[in-house]
Amino acid sequence: MFNNNFTSLKNFNTFGFDIQAKNLLVIKSETDLIDNFKAENINLSSKIIGGGSNILFTHNVDELLLKNEIEGINIIAETDETIDIAFGGGENWHKIVLYCVNNNWGGLENLSLIPGCVGASPIQNIGAYGSEIKDTFQWLKAFNLKTGELEIFNHSQCNFGYRDSYFKNEGKNLYFITQVCFRLSKNPKINVQYGDIQAILDQKGITHPTIKNVSDAVIEIRQSKLPDPAVLGNCGSFFKNPVISLSHFEKIKENHPSIKSFPVSETEIKVPAGWLIEQAGWKGKKVGNVGVHEKQALVLVNYGQGTGLEIKILAESIQKDILEKFTISLEIEVNIW
């Protein structure tokens, strides 16, 4: 469906900003992409939106906006041990996680309640509580906005990194992801070693957890720490957790012995961005109509009347402060338009 009238994107971005799109094209199938490319409606200048949970709009969108609403759940292959299942790029991420959990197919349960659509998951290599997309990813199908061809990308071609992939670098703005396939386990290995999952299970007296128990625990943790976008506009974690050298970390630890960290290699260590922001005094701070969430310093929020530019300025102020205080450059995880 092609709409060439100005359309409000207020319900299409989790910050809740009332930004206008000049041209909106809802994509329901791969055929929609092919036909519109042939009609010269789609090109490299087109922008793509899914669930709108990783986008900061700072102005109206003049370019053609493609909204991914491709659905579908297809079993590709199956053995006694595993199942390969492909989901349409427009499917709601949390919905498909619960679908897998309810079928006792393990691998995605630690990624419960992450907002957004399936198509965005490999772009971000989304991760939480000890799991990442790359752990179960098999392949994806994507429409090339330059050539009009559908292409298949295997695991190695996606070049996954921490919150990173080929599609955030060389392939940025070039592909519309139509389908993503994961290999899940019928005999799941339970991962409760990260975050507060084990503590939640202990509180409930669960000694032999299922993937449903893990999923429920992750949902409970996320709901306790992260604001509901329907109530308070936000896009989840705004910054990446920085990876710094071990020597740099030791220098910071001299003045901040309580600093938290996660080893990455023998020479590098990951530091929680939320901890840095909180130590710098930003947690719970309100600036105009926006601010930093009171329970999670990684989350920037819109109190109702804010703008994307206010969020952008706040983010830049935080970056500058963290650089001055800790000599660490915070990288923004959100796409800024």
CA distance 335 to 337: 6
Question: Do residues 24 and 65 lie in contact, with contact meaning Cβ atoms separated by under 8 Å?
Answer: yes
- The dihedral sign for the CA sequence 202, 241, 125, 337: positive
Q: Please state, as a whole number, how many other Cβ atoms lie within 10 Å of the Cβ of residue 147.
A: 10
Instruction: Give how far Cα 128 sits from Cα of 182, 197, 221, Å.
Output: 17, 11, 11
Number of H helices, E strands in the chain: 9, 21
Residue 283 token pair:
């947690």
Residue 102 token pair:
């309810």
Q: Where are the alpha helices (DSSP H) in 90-210?
A: 93-102, 121-124, 155-158, 197-203
Per residue, the 3-state secondary structure of 256-309, as one string, reads CCCCCCEECCCCEEECCHHHHHHHCCCCCCEECCEEECCCCCCEEEECCCCCHH
Instruction: Give how far Cα 65 sits from Cα of 11, 52, 144, 320, Å.
Output: 14, 12, 15, 32
Looking up tokens 């200048």 gives 45
Catalytically active residues are 163, 237, 333
Question: Do residues 74 and 95 lie in contact, with contact meaning Cβ atoms separated by under 8 Å?
Answer: no
- Chain-centroid distance of CA 110 in Å reads 14
CA-nearest of 122, 117, 127, 125 to 55 is 117
Q: Where are the alpha helices (DSSP H) in the chain?
A: 30-38, 93-102, 121-124, 155-158, 197-203, 211-225, 246-255, 273-279, 308-326
